A and B are shown apart, each in its own frame.
Chain A
Amino acid sequence: MRMDKKIILGIDFFILAGTLALIVFSVGYVQPLLIAPQDGYESNNGAVLFSFEKADVILIDDNIDFSSPDEYHVEDNLVINLKPGVYYWKAVGVLPSEIREFKINSEISLKLKQDGEGYEVVNAGNERLNVDVYSEGKIIGNVVLDVDGSEGVFGDKFVGRSDE
């Protein structure tokens, strides 16, 4: 009788331990693996490589609640161009992955080219620019340039700042 009880307890243990081990292995196996970008990644370059395994959807949002995510159905790595800001991303396969945060820094970059008598101002950064045009120390105009946008201007000083 005592032997029977031992056998039953042994079977209990075997079944529970086996089930637990299999569940742990299965969850580990099917949970998406996030490779890049790392948590806390920061860059001035808006082109971000998303690298992951064991998922077929990635979600990117500027809100950690993922209330309005951009959804990408992909089975491989992909590069997405993002505007400056703080983002959260996760991958979803059989199970959802952890959530990672990353940041695209804004880069304000202004290029000036001689263009006949005047100049051409070019937005070489990753945010829309608001450019003040000065002549002899006074503001004489203002132009707004989209990313990669350009415009012909006359003046002797040009100062660009974010227009977002």
Chain B
Amino acid sequence: MNKKLLIVLLIGLFLVEGAMAIGITPGRSTFDYSPGSVKNVDFSVINSEDKVIDVVVLVQGEFNESISVSEVSFSMQPGESKTLKYGFTMPPNLSPGSHLSEVVAVQLPGRSVTSEAFVGAAVGVATQIIVDVPYPGKYLDASLNVIGPSDDGEVTFVMPLLSRGELDVVKANAIVEIFGPFNDQIDRLNTNTVSVNSGERKEIVANWNPEVAPGQYRAVATLVYDEETRKIEKTFSVGERLLEIDGVDVNDFRLGGIAKFEVLVSNQWSDAINGVFAEMSVFNKAGEVMAEIKSPTYDIHSLEKKLMVLFWDTAGVSRGEYDATILLKYSDKSDQHDFKLDVRDDEINVIGIGYVISSEDTGGGLFSNGLVVFLVVLVVVLVIVNLLWFLYLRKKIAKK
């Protein structure tokens, strides 16, 4: 036993010695191009290990002649974070677009404490230096993000815009066309309009309240800015990929015989869901599983209802009520439905199949705070008093 423990400890020690880890932050610094300007940037190298490590710092990429690092070789204590600095002089005549260099901290292979062997690999991490050189004229970088659907079903299309041109963009907006599973256009939305100055980042947004079946849809956004256009596409899902149990029935039953459960399942999704099966468990009074049964697999087409069949051998089962669950399994989902079986001599009643949906909003929010309500009422009363006084009573008293 002791020998085994020793072997495990030795393996553990070797594994620990065989691990290397190094970090660097920030991962990236981005600069707008300004020829000849000097940037001095702090960055930190982190020794994430429990041992002393040796580190060298290298510069690589387009600007390796223009970047100097404060220290190029040093040792680090366990867990130490060391702040270094690099100086970067922006070279002249860079072409439009993004330019990249890297400062790389490399942890050198170390000598093992438990043996004379080297861990024969070096591991490095890079902080990137990116210089954005503006394009001549107007140029917008754009992407399309689809957010939602939210709890109330709304889908939001967001397009972050980054003006990378030398000139300001006066007017930018987009038309978002939504296409269904059969490539039919379902809707067309307009975003808001913004102006984006050179180097600035803004967003344009369109909201959509879909009245369509759940499924996969495609958004095609046509970005229009001044005289330029650009198309961006993205697929997204509406609704949850969902199967619902509409009912469970048992017909022609005799206690002690085979009960045939017919589970009616409907596919709410706009595509077929394949390989669906159900697993039913029946529990005795002590909560122990007394039967586990499984259906064959089924393919259920879009918006189709299908009967799934399970057989339960009731030999040795007594009359009475039993807890039961059906697990509906499809794709990577597993939906559980709890219910009761009322088993009689010549029938089984299925009780309580369905969901309990609870509202998330249980409180009254801030207005449940009595003092807030009191203050609101007091302000309203004071406004009325003011109006009464200045428009009516004051004049009346002054006349007297």
Contact = CB atoms under 8 A, between A and B. Distances in A.
B245 interface: no
Contact of A160 (B14, B126, B201): B126
B21 A110 contact: yes
Contacts of A157: 106, 121-124
Given A65-B203, A106-B27, A75 B363 contact: yes
Contact of B382 (A8, A18, A65, A67): A18
Nearest to B104: A159
A108 B27 contact: yes
Interface string B137-158: 0000000010100000000101
A119 interface: yes
Interface string B23-61: 111111000000000000000001010000000000000
B391 interface: no
Contacts of A38: none
B138 to A, nearest CB: 21
Interface string A21-44: 011011001100000000000001
B124 to A, nearest CB: 4
B203 A67 contact: yes
A19 B382 contact: yes
Question: Size range of the interface on B?
Answer: 35 or more
B304 to A, nearest CB: 36
A161 B121 contact: no
B156 A30 contact: no
Instruction: Among B19, B26, B106, find the residue whose CB has the most chain A CB atoms closer than 10 A.
Output: B26
B15 A127 contact: no
Contact of A84 (B24, B27, B204, B390): B27
Interface of A: 4-5, 8, 11-12, 15-16, 18-19, 22-23, 25-26, 29-30, 44, 54-56, 63, 65, 67-68, 73, 75, 84, 93-94, 105-114, 119, 121, 124-125, 127, 155-162, 164
27 contacts: A4-B397, A4-B400, A5-B398, A8-B394, A12-B390, A15-B382, A16-B386, A19-B382, A22-B379, A26-B376, A67-B204, A68-B145, A68-B156, A73-B361, A75-B363, A107-B25, A107-B26, A107-B27, A107-B46, A108-B23, A109-B48, A110-B23, A127-B27, A156-B120, A157-B123, A159-B123, A160-B126
Q: Which 7 A-B pairs have the closest CB atoms?
A: A114-B18, A106-B27, A109-B23, A161-B126, A159-B124, A68-B158, A162-B27
